[in-house]
Structure 1
Amino acid sequence: MMDALHEILTSGWGTMLLRGALMTVFISLCGIILGLLIGIGGAALKTGGNRLWRGLVNLYTLIVRSIPELLIIYLLFFATVQPAADLADWLDLDELMSSFFPMLVGIVAIGLISGSYSVEVFRGALTAIAPGQIEAARAIGMGRWQCLRRITLPQLFWYALPGANNVWQNALKDTALVSLVGLVELMRAAVLGSAATRAPLPMYVLAGLLYFIIGVFSQAAFVWAERHYGRGMRASRA
Structure 2
Amino acid sequence: MLDTILAVLREGWGWTLLRGTAMTLLIASLGMCLGVAIGIAGAAVKTSGPRLAGLLVSTYTTVFRSIPELLIIYLLFFGSVQPVSDLADYLEWEDAMTGWFPALVGIIAIGLISGSYGVEVFRGALKAIPPGQIEAARAIGMTGRQRLTRIVIPQMFWYALPGTNNVWQTALKDTALISLVGLVEIMRAAVLGAAATREPLALYVMAGALYFLIGAASQGAFVLAERRYGRGMKGHA
- Which bracket does the TM-score occupy, shorter chain normalised? over 0.9
Alignment-derived partner of residue 174 in structure 1: 174
Distance 2:139 2:178 in 1: 50
In structure 2, give the amino acid aligned to 1:182: G
Does the alignment pair 1:192 with 2:209? no
In structure 2, give the amino acid aligned to 1:206: M
In structure 1, give the amino acid aligned to 2:22: L
Does the alignment pair 1:94 with 2:118? no
Deviates more, 1:142-151 or 1:35-44: 142-151
TM-score normalized by structure 1? Answer: 0.98
Distance 1:138 1:17 in 2: 54
Aligned-residue CA RMSD (Å): 0.8
In structure 2, give the amino acid aligned to 1:236: H
Note the C-alpha offset of 1:131. Answer: 1.4
For residues 49-75 of structure 1, give each alpha carbon's deviation from its aligned partner in whole angstroms, at most 9, with x where no partner exists: 122011101100111111100000000
Note the C-alpha offset of 1:22. Answer: 1.1
Note the C-alpha offset of 1:15. Answer: 0.5
Note the C-alpha offset of 1:141. Answer: 2.0
Alignment-derived partner of residue 77 in structure 1: 77
Structure 1: gaps of 5 or more residues: none
Distance 1:131 1:162 in 2: 21
Distance 2:221 2:87 in 1: 40
Distance 2:2 2:236 in 1: 55
For residues 5-48 of structure 1, give each alpha carbon's deviation from its aligned partner in whole angstroms, at most 9, with x where no partner exists: 12211111001001111111111100111001110011111111
| Alignment map for 1:23-172 (pairs within 5 Å) | 23-172=23-172
Distance 2:230 2:57 in 1: 29
In structure 2, give the amino acid aligned to 1:37: A
Distance 1:127 1:5 in 2: 50
Structure 2: gaps of 5 or more residues: none
For residues 51-101 of structure 1, give each alpha carbon's deviation from its aligned partner in whole angstroms, at most 9, with x where no partner exists: 201110110011111110000000000111111111111111110111000
TM-score normalized by structure 2? Answer: 0.98
Note the C-alpha offset of 1:138. Answer: 2.1
Note the C-alpha offset of 1:134. Answer: 1.4
For residues 123-165 of structure 1, give each alpha carbon's deviation from its aligned partner in whole angstroms, at most 9, with x where no partner exists: 1000001111112112222211111111100000000000000
Distance 2:109 2:139 in 1: 43
Distance 1:206 1:224 in 2: 27
In structure 1, give the amino acid aligned to 2:140: I
Note the C-alpha offset of 1:167. Answer: 0.3
Distance 1:81 1:88 in 2: 10
Does the alignment pair 1:218 with 2:218? yes
For residues 178-202 of structure 1, give each alpha carbon's deviation from its aligned partner in whole angstroms, at most 9, with x where no partner exists: 0000000000000000000000001
Distance 1:169 1:191 in 2: 22
Q: For residue 230 of structure 1, give the secondary structure of its aligned residue in structure 2.
A: helix
Note the C-alpha offset of 1:235. Answer: 2.5
Note the C-alpha offset of 1:2. Answer: 2.9
